[in-house]
Amino acid sequence: MYHSPVLLRESVEILHVIPEGIYVDATFGGGGHSAAILALLDSRGSLYAFDQDRDAHANAAQAPFDAHPGFHFVASNFRHLKRQLRALGVLPGTVDGILADLGVSSYQIDTPERGFSYRFDAELDMRMNPDGGLRADTVLNTYSAAELQRVFSDYGELRNARTLAQACAQFRAERPFRTTAELVALCDTHRIGERWRYLSQVFQALRMEVNEEVAALADFLREAREMLKPGGRLAVITYHSIEDRLVKNFLKAGNAEGEPVKDFYGNIERPFELLLKKALEPTDQEIKENPRARSAKLRGGARIK
C-alpha cells in the first residue's frame, strides 16, 4: 500500500483550487493528493500527475482518475516538468497550482526488492525509477572513499562520514557490496547514536545520491516557477532538512542558496509571496495515525508577476 497522503487537507487548501483550473501533482504515488484535487475540478479542469515509478502508473488507471476527462498521467521525473507539460500543450505561465510530496513512499520502503529499507535483506537498488539508472551497489562499489564521504556527509549528515566511507572502501576490497544486509552489518560496527536513526541516515544518503534528489528538486522548482501563472500557487511537502532548506530558500529568493537577486535599480526580486509564515507540520493526531508523517513540513507560495 502507498502511504496515506500527508498534510492532505492543508496542502490542497494552499492550492486554492478553482474548478476550471490547470493543476499538477508532481509526485502522484498512490494518488491521494491527486484524488483530493480532482474532486474539486469540474469537466473543464485539468490535472497532470507525474511519477517515474512504473508501479504508480497502475494506480492512475483506476477510479477516480480513469473517469475524469481532464486527468493525465505523465510517466516522468518531475525535474522534466516544463518539457513534459509543453508536449501536452500546457504553456509556461498558465498553470494554476503545483503540489509536490517529496521523498520515498511507504510502498517503496515496504517493497523489499526495491532495496530502500534496512529492515529487509535485498539487493542494493534504491532507484525510484527501476527501469534504469545508477544503483546503490554501484555507488558503494565504484565511488572513491572521498566521494562516499561526501554522500554520507551531505545527504546523510553523518558525524562519522569519513570513517564509514573508509570502512566501505575496505569492505569492497575483499568483495563487492551486493545486499542491504551487508551494508547494515558494516554500519552496525561503526554507528554512532541510535541504530535506527543512523541506518536511516545512511540509506537516505545513498537513495538521494542514486536518484539525484537534490538536483532534481532544484530543477523542478525552477520549472514550477516558469509554469505557474501570476498568482499561481506552489505547495511542497518535505521530510528532511536538506529538502526543506532548499524549498525555503527558493520560495524566498528564487534560488537554492536563498541569495537575494536584485533588478537593475537595486530592488530585490521576490518570485513568490509566502503563504505560510513558517512551515506547517502535521498534528499529533496525524502523526499518531501515520508515524511516517512525523518529519513532514509544508511550505507554500503564490507566484508574483
Task: Please state the separation of Cα 154 from the chain's center in Å.
Answer: 16
Low-confidence ranges of the chain (pLDDT < 50): none
State the alpha helices, DSSP H only, in 72-212.
81-87, 106-110, 136-142, 145-154, 161-174, 180-188, 195-210
- In whole angstroms, give the CA distance from residue 51 to residue 41: 21
Q: Is 52 helix (H, G, I), strand (E, B) or coil?
A: coil
Q: What is the pLDDT of residue 259?
A: 87
Task: Please state the separation of Cα 197 from the chain's center in Å.
Answer: 20
> Was domain 8-106+213-303 assigned CATH 1.10.1670.10?
no
For the chain, strand residue ranges (E) read: 22-25, 46-50, 71-74, 95-101, 228-238, 261-262, 268-269, 272-274, 297-303
| Inter-residue contact 94 to 227 (CB < 8 Å) | yes
CA angle 147, 150, 156 (to 5 degrees): 130
- In whole angstroms, give the CA distance from residue 145 to residue 153: 12
Q: What is the pLDDT of residue 58?
A: 85
Can you give the length of the chain in residues? 305
Domain span(s) for CATH 1.10.150.170 in the chain = 130-210
What are the Cα distances from residue 39, in Å, to 18, 46, 68, 182, 242? 11, 11, 10, 46, 32
Q: Which CATH number fits domain 130-210: 3.10.450.30, 1.10.150.170, 3.40.50.300, 1.10.3720.10?
A: 1.10.150.170
| Inter-residue contact 19 to 44 (CB < 8 Å) | yes
